[in-house]
Structure 1
Amino acid sequence: MISRSTKTLKNPIFFRLTHSTFIKNPSFSTLPSSSSSDIPKRLHHKDWLAPNEVLQVFTSLRDPNSVRTALDHYSKRKDYKPNEALYTLVVNKLAQARLFDAIDNVMARIKSESKCRLSDNFFRTVIKAYGNVGGLINKAIETLYDMPNYGCWPSVKTFNFVLHLLVSTKMFDVVHEVYLEAPKLGIEIDACCLNILMKGLCEYGKLDAALKVLDEFPKQRCIPNALTFSTLMHGLCVNEKVDEAFGMLKRMENEGIDPDTITFNILIAGLRKQGRFEEGIKLLEEMRGKGCDPNAGSYQEVLYCFLDAQRFVEAKEFMSWMIPKGVGPSFVSYKALIHGLCKENLVQDVDWVLKQMIRQGFLPKMGMWRQILKSMFSEKSSHCCISYEEIVDN
């Protein structure tokens, strides 16, 4: 087990985080000075307040600006005994009002007072407030690093949340730096952590580095899972390395890891992107043969394969097979199929598709109606003059 040092963590990362870190550029509000009118009447009473009564008082506050004023007044009472539930309520109220400077003040109060022990869940709430609500990624990282100074060490769940936050905000150059801080925070790396790191590298376009992460699993005493391989396969398919993705499929099966629906959907989409439509269609059957049930995404990708291959009659038949299973084709699928059938002057098939489209709640726009009418009244399908691009744009 990694020993946990109680020394303050030094974080050189913050010296180079600039205004680009502020994803949403929130405006900071300065709270007004305390006034007696902002303080709930129950906090003026001399009667002893139980913790649940204090929570009721703060829950009833409608104006977020009065939260800190009330907290200041409560701290002067003899029965002042804050707990995690109260601090969580205060942070959430301030975050909803985007009063992040006030959250800074509350965190400073907590550190200076040391009135109660706070759990990892509380700090994850604060990190979410800074990162998800405020877009203040640097504050989220700083809170993670500062947790030991509050007497609480982060869990791997909280650590992974910060890593995922960095990947989702495309701060790929920072992900690895935070990852390297794991030993100082006493974090034991798990499969989820490595999967997030791998996803970040794939999205950053560093496939070779992402593939090397796979070798880290045994070193960290972790076992890769279906998500691990699906992440790599997606990165390979996006970069048109579909054959390498299928090689990854064989590797995961050799290691006794069963591919899931997402794995197959990624491969079907990859084949479609390369124009290998027949292989994509056949993969749906192989998927069933391996005991993996297709989902709506699976059927939609195969339908796109038929449409991209301009096999419109088969696409219509596949669509008629999808719908009774409760899988609704996308609006783009309907538009592309109607365009193809009109082009081939298959008016009766167009009528069926149009009815299904309307039943599903999609309304054809003017461009599609023009296409259908042209097909109905034209002697030859080649006379149709509305382009596929025009239909999609409409």
Structure 2
Amino acid sequence: MGLHESFPAYGGRGPNDIRLGLALGAIATIFTALRVYVRIRMNKFGTASLIWALIAWLLTTITQIFAVISILHGLGNHISIVQKVGDLQDYLLFTWITVFFFNMAIPVGKVAVAVFLIELNSQSITSLIDPKIRRSLIVVAALNIILNIPQILMAWFQCSPPSALWDPLRQNQCDHTRSVYYTYFIGAVAAVSDLYLAIIPITMLVPLHMDRKLKWGLSFLMGCGIFAGAAAVVRTWAAKFIMGDDPSYGMGILFCWGEVEEWLVLITMSIPPVWPLFRPLTHQFIKYTSNRSQPQYKYDGYGQSNPTTRGHPSDGPIVTTTISISSHKGTAAGTDAMDDEASDSLSRYEAEPETSRIPLGHNGHPERWMEMSQFKEQKRT
């Protein structure tokens, strides 16, 4: 027996909304679980932001559960079909419960992002960040909480009495105008917040002296909150369907983009904390691409620099130091220039193991989410 037989009001946009929401929810849940694992097993930072993220995940999961129930009772389908099968009361009840949890999940998710960026700032790259940015993050978090309180309460006081909200026979006692207009305002705040929280991590990464591919890759991943901001804009626009002629179908559009916004916030905020799990793969990729793009030279301890060849080991147990230098075209003069450059590079080279760029704790694990402090560009003396 299919869902259509058990729930005759199920249909329209509803099936696609369920598939999209569950797919994004599964990805967000995996990232959240990895974040918990990293916090417990690999470092001791990020407790406050993790707690906020878990609260946001819980509220978003509850929202998704009630959204699925609402869709089974007609959310996303045409109102004429919902009325015909007699499911209008259940549709109204579960839809407004979904709205209630949705209005709580959205601001908590943005607070979680702001708290994470504050902790990242204080733990990793404080000297590179203007203290004004820290205060601005606190303001963004506070505004999202304070301004959403009326939105949470307003949903239950659109009708007189409140129970008329889910009573099909008393819908004429409800006025959704103020709620919809306030949704426009709070949606604009949410969109601007998402955009700001997506741009700030990029400004943190730009001044760092690190591999360019890694820098732009992290900037893209941490800036994916822009997509959540775009979803917030569409979701705000779709709020007008609450007062339309076919509200159940229009609400399917609103909830589709609402769940995209909610889950994308959780996914993008979890990428930096789980970075220690994927960092070894990134280092291998960078090392591989660097080795292919630049010739490797070895210093043999006697003032000679020779190209490294695979499958031809040196004739004696000579301790060598690998140095990457730029290639030069030309005749023998060009070769001498390379030798001089290699010798000069060696004189400035600090004998330091490669793994020292990754600070490790007493148990051999990274101490921070993204050890970006070691990428600070050192001043030349």
TM over 0.5: no
Give TM class, smaller chain.
Answer: under 0.3
Which structure has more relative contact order (CA 8 Å, sep 6+)? It is 2
State the TM-score, normalized to the length of structure 1.
0.22
State the TM-score, normalized to the length of structure 2.
0.22
